[in-house]
Amino acid sequence: MTTRYHGSSVLRMTIGIVYSEDIKYYDFGLGHPFRGDRYANFMRLFQEKVKDFELTEPRYASDEELLLVHDKTYIDFVESASRDIWLPSYSYRFLSGDTPLQPGLGRAARLIAGASLTAGELVWEGRFTHAVGVGGGMHHARRSYGAGFCIYNDVGLCARNLIQKYNLERILILDTDAHAGDGTCEIFYEDPRVLFMDLHQDPHTLYPGTGFAHEIGADNGKGYTANVPMLTLCSRIYPKLIPSFSIFSWALSQKSSAF
């Protein structure tokens, strides 16, 4: 446990790690850059660098929870296709070529989603000041399409679950991955309850080619999406982003970054 001093008050920082060895089954196979051994490597690094944390088991995200951000036809496809060796011919409707489903992968995706759901709830309920859902940050998963190695958008699930379960009025999602979080952006593009701040590499030079500064949300959500392509806009936009943290008075914030 770490003690942080804030003004005249003392805040004890407690860290929770939500992890299961079964997350290793989120593995796209030999030759693919996204392998299941990355999670155990992360845990070893965390144990070496942080040491003082509490380990918590995640739950599997239910159908009801997945439906908070994903379409039922997409969920049904993932569950059906990940039970078979061969992908159906119509899989291109739901998955990009870089995200090939493997047997058991759908269940592992539910576990990663459940880890982020659990982490968010544990922080909001006061058990930890900080929590990490290992394997999370699947920000390329859209409502009905998996891409960029992402099947279920755990960040979006966590945010919407907290909004509905605890009647939160606003949440900040800060995405610091080099790739733009196109899936998370799509999910909350018209939602004024979520401020989605995405700092990423210039979309002209990196997948997925979205996340331009003019993409600021739509309808009631207009102004609640802030895409900041680095480095070209950094010096101009960064100073303008800082005041919005205090102006909006966020009830809870989430960091989105794939490990």
Helices 105-124, 72-81: inter-axial angle, 10-degree rounding: 130
Residue 135 CA from chain centroid, whole number: 9
Sign (positive or negative) of CA dihedral 246, 154, 133, 128:
positive
* Mean pLDDT to the nearest integer, 120-139: 95
**Among 225, 244, 228, residue whose Cα is nearest residue 236:** 228
Give the whole-angstrom CA distance, residue 175 versus residue 258.
9
pLDDT digits (tens, 9 = 90+) for 247-257: 555 555 665 65
- pLDDT tens across 70-86, in order? 999 999 999 988 887 66
Cβ atoms of residues 182 and 159 within 8 Å:
no
Read off the pLDDT of each residue in 149-156 and give the average, rounded to a whole number. Answer: 98
Percent of all residues in the chain with a pLDDT value above 90, rounded to a whole number: 67
3-class secondary structure, 112: helix
**Of the candidates 259, 187, 201, the residue with the CA atom closest to the CA atom of residue 232:** 201
Tell me the pLDDT of the chain averaged across its residues.
Answer: 88
- Which H or E run includes 183? helix 182-188
pLDDT of 39-50, one tens digit each? Answer: 999 899 888 988
Q: Helices (H), strands (E): how many in the chain?
A: 7, 9
Say what the pLDDT of residue 210 is. Answer: 96
> Higher-confidence residue: 82 or 198?
198
Within the chain, where are the H helices? 38-49, 63-66, 72-81, 105-124, 154-165, 182-188, 234-248
Given the residues 140, 200, 204, 214, the one annotated as active site:
140
- Tell which wins on pLDDT, 116 or 49: 116
Q: Of 1, 4, 17, give the one whose Cα is nearest residue 135.
A: 17
**In the predicted structure, residue 93 carries a pLDDT above the cut 50:** yes
pTM: 0.85
Domain ranges of the chain: 1-167, 168-259
Alpha-carbon distance of 93 to 175, in angstroms, equals 26
Measure Cα distances from 129 to 126, 137, 171, 179, 229 in Å: 7, 19, 16, 27, 30
What angle in degrees, to the nearest 10, is found between the helix axes of 154-165 and 105-124? 40
185 closest CA partner among 193, 195, 177: 195
DSSP helix/strand/coil, 13: strand
Q: Is position 140 annotated as part of the catalytic site?
A: yes
CATH class of the 1-167 domain in this structure = alpha beta
Alpha helices for 2-104 (secondary structure H): 38-49, 63-66, 72-81
